[in-house]
């Protein structure tokens, strides 16, 4: 056990409103409840359980299309429930905002799926209704079917997707930060002035993809710009995260990989004009918790019984844009060129000695390389190693709902708190204030801050006709 004083670990629950999220096949476990994903009660009960445990956030993943073909088509995706069917997390989060009061609500929304004007209004509304607890997980969508569902003929090239994302975030920053100045809302019943026309502006965004006049129809929410997550792990993805994200999420196979990625992210932060640590680093990890090593082994064997390696392979293969269906698990992957999730493939290669993974290594990496099994003391010892490698938080992957989180809360959380690695109470304020202990809005060194006060020449007052003389 470490005796050194350490910063606490941020804790989020990695969720998706679907029967089969990361660890394929586990929905079949007798105690698993994720087959009830359509029932609001499942999510309300889980959110309250996690809030009582003082988790920082519920982190909802999402896709807006099918994973790529597996075994020549998409029938096996439907059969396995591989993130199809799935529901819109924004709608679910609206209900959870009303039934919780402190925990953050992190929502994935792709640049593919919604116009920046619409997305900015939705997130501002939810940030208002939740009291400033909303986070946006910015994704570019690696699934070709996602792009086809929104009018494209295929998957945009990797570099083009990040160019697209750069314009998208610029547009929503203008709406969130530049459209309404501080003090614009007056709500003065005596004078009848609800807002000051001199402090509400159109943004007149013109770019390669979007033309947005404005103004933003929502007044400034508690955070203005939601807390920002980004999960890109390719070099371009890391550069984007370093410039924009307040938290970045890694699928990390080991601590050596984390250390390498953390070093690269910190260097990229400096290059982007931000301070080291402005982007918190989360690792996606699952846990098998037992009071004895014998109990740990029994639980691990039980989970393995329900794990479906072919679902894991279909998931990863779809993400990198390669049909791996029908291949023997010992088939070498070879040199894969893909426009899909390049960082995922890099992580798998890094997890295999010699860097020559097989198809089976894909499944083992997702199921085991990111799994910590042990007693609470052993798990927290291991988490300290991951913290030393550079992580600031853990995005906890579940085998079963709600049992995986119940095991963590009852087993691991007391040991984390005993070592000062988990909070016992929430700090006051918005999600950003709770995480960073500073202002509710973005820091001045964030790119979004450049749009504050940038559009005053386009204010409503500038269009006002002078009153006629005489």
What would the pLDDT profile of 157-210 be if each residue is shown by its tens digit?
888 999 999 999 999 999 999 999 999 999 999 999 999 999 999 999 999 999
C-alpha separations of 169 from 165, 181, 222 in Å:
6, 19, 19
pLDDT, position 343: 57
Is 211 one of the annotated binding-site residues? Answer: no
Q: What span, in angstroms and rounded, lies between the C-alpha atoms of 398 and 393?
A: 16
The residues that bridge with 282 in the sheet, in sequence order, are: 249, 393
**According to the model, what pLDDT value does residue 361 have?**
76
Tens of pLDDT, residue by residue over 413-429, are 999 999 999 999 999 99
* 463 is known to lie in a ligand binding site: no
Residues 6+ apart with CB under 8 A from 26: 20, 32, 34, 303, 306, 307, 398, 399, 400
Is the predicted pLDDT of residue 50 greater than 60, yes or no? yes
Supply the mean pLDDT for the chain. Answer: 91
Rounded Cα gap, residues 327 and 101, in angstroms: 48
Number of domains present in the structure of the chain: 1
Residues 396 and 345: their CA atoms lie apart, in Å, by: 21
| 436 lies in some domain | yes
Task: Give 348's pLDDT tier (boundaries 50, 70, 90).
Answer: low
Cα 286 from Cα 400, distance rounded (Å): 11
d(CA 121, CA 225): 11
Q: How confident is the model at residue 349 (pLDDT cuts 50, 70, 90)?
A: low
Listed residue (242, 223, 209, 62) closest to 130, CA to CA: 223
> Is 162 marked as a binding-site residue?
yes
Segment 419-422 long-range contacts (CB within 8 Å, at least 24 positions apart): 419/1, 419/2, 419/6, 419/380, 419/384, 420/5, 420/6, 420/8, 421/6, 421/8, 421/9, 421/380, 421/383, 421/384, 421/387, 422/8, 422/9, 422/11, 422/54
Flag whether 469 is in a domain: no
Spatial neighbors of 129 by CB under 8 A, at least 6 apart, are 94, 97, 98
* CA atoms of 121 and 82, how far apart (whole Å): 30
Residue at 225 is within a domain: yes
DSSP letter at 328 equals: -
Residue 235 is predicted with a pLDDT of: 82
Contact between 27 and 401 under an 8 Å Cβ cutoff? The reply is: no
Query: Across the strands, what pairs with 358?
Result: 332
233 marked ligand binding residue: yes
Residue 71's pLDDT band, with cuts at 50, 70 and 90, is confident
Residue 340 belongs to a domain = yes
Please write the tens of the pLDDT for every residue from 313-324. Answer: 888 877 777 777
pLDDT number for residue 248: 95
Residue 2 has a pLDDT of 47
Average pLDDT of the residues in 146-156: 92
Is 158 annotated in some ligand binding site?
yes
Assigned domain for 61 exists: yes
pLDDT of 412 > 50? The answer is yes
Pairing status of strand 371-374 against strand 247-250: unpaired
Whether residue 5 is contained in a domain is answered as: no
Average pLDDT (221-244) is 91
Kindly state the percentage of the chain with pLDDT values over 70. 93
pLDDT at 323: 75
Q: Give the CATH number for residue 228.
A: 3.20.20.30
Q: What is the pLDDT of residue 467?
A: 54
pLDDT greater than 80 at residue 24:
yes
Residue 55, CA distances (Å) to 42, 80, 219, 320 in order: 17, 30, 29, 31
Residue 180: inside a domain = yes
Mean pLDDT of 351-361: 71
Number of alpha helices (DSSP H) and beta strands (DSSP E) in the chain: 16, 13
Identify the domain containing residue 262 by its residue range: 10-464
**Digit-coded pLDDT (tens) for 84-123:** 999 999 999 999 999 999 999 999 999 999 999 999 999 9
* DSSP calls for 72-88: TBSHHHHHHTBS-S---
Answer yes or no: is 234 a known binding residue.
yes
pLDDT tier, 334 (very low <50, low <70, confident <90, very high otherwise): low
The two structure tokens encoding residue 56: 């920082």
Among 29-43, 59-73, 135-149, name the most confident range: 29-43
Whether 325 maps to a domain, the answer reads yes
Question: Residue 176 gets which letter from DSSP?
Answer: I
pLDDT at 15 over 70: yes
- Could you report the per-residue pLDDT of 288-315, keeping only the tens digit for each? 999 999 999 999 999 999 999 888 888 8
Q: How far apart are the first and last CA of the chain?
A: 84
pLDDT of residue 83 exceeding 90, the answer is yes
Question: Is a pLDDT exceeding 80 seen at residue 336?
Answer: no
Per-residue pLDDT at 466 exceeds 70 = no
356 has a pLDDT exceeding 90 = no
pLDDT at site 1 = 46
């Amino acid at each position: 056990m470490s005796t050194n004083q350490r910063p606490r670990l941020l804790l989020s629950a990695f969720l998706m409103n679907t029967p089969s999220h990361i660890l394929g096949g586990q929905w079949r476990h007798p105690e698993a409840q994720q087959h009830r994903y359509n029932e609001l009660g499942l999510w309300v009960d889980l959110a309250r359980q996690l809030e009582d445990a003082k988790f920082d956030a519920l982190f909802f993943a999402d896709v807006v299309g099918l994973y790529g073909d597996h075994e020549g088509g998409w029938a096996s995706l439907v059969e396995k429930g591989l993130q199809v069917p799935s529901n819109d997390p924004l709608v679910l989060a609206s209900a959870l905002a009303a039934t919780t009061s402190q925990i953050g609500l992190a929502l994935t929304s792709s640049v593919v799926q919604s116009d920046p004007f619409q997305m900015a209004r939705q997130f501002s509304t939810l940030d208002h209704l939740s009291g400033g607890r909303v986070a946006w997980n910015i994704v570019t969508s690696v699934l070709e079917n996602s792009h086809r569902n929104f009018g494209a003929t295929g998957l945009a090239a990797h570099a083009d997707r990040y160019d697209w994302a750069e314009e998208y975030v610029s547009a929503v920053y203008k709406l969130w930060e530049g459209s309404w100045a501080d003090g614009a809302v007056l709500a003065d019943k005596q004078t009848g002035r609800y807002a000051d026309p001199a402090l509400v502006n159109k943004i007149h965004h013109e770019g390669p993809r979007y033309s947005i006049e404005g103004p933003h129809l929502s007044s400034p929410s508690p955070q203005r710009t939601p807390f920002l997550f980004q999960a890109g792990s390719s070099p371009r993805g890391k550069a984007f995260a370093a410039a924009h994200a307040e938290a970045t999420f890694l699928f990390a196979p080991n601590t050596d990989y984390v250390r390498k990625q953390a070093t690269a992210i910190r260097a990229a932060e400096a290059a982007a004009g931000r301070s080291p640590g402005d982007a918190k680093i989360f690792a996606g990890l699952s846990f098998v918790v037992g009071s004895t090593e014998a109990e740990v082994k029994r639980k691990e064997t039980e989970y393995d019984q329900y794990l479906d390696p072919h679902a894991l392979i279909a998931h990863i293969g779809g993400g990198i844009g390669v049909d791996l269906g029908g291949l023997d698990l010992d088939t070498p992957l070879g040199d894969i060129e893909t426009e899909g999730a390049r960082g995922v493939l890099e992580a798998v290669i890094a997890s295999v000695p010699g860097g020559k993974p097989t198809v089976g290594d894909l499944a083992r990496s997702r199921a085991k390389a990111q799994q910590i099994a042990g007693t609470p003391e052993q798990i927290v010892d291991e988490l300290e190693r991951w913290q030393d490698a550079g992580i600031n938080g853990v995005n906890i992957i579940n085998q079963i709902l709600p049992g995986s989180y119940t095991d963590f809360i009852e087993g691991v959380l007391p040991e984390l708190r005993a070592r000062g690695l988990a909070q016992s109470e929430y700090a006051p304020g918005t999600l950003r204030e709770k995480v960073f202990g500073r202002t509710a809005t973005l820091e001045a060194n964030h790119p979004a801050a450049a749009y504050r006060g940038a559009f005053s020449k386009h204010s409503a007052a500038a269009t006002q006709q002078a009153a006629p003389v005489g």
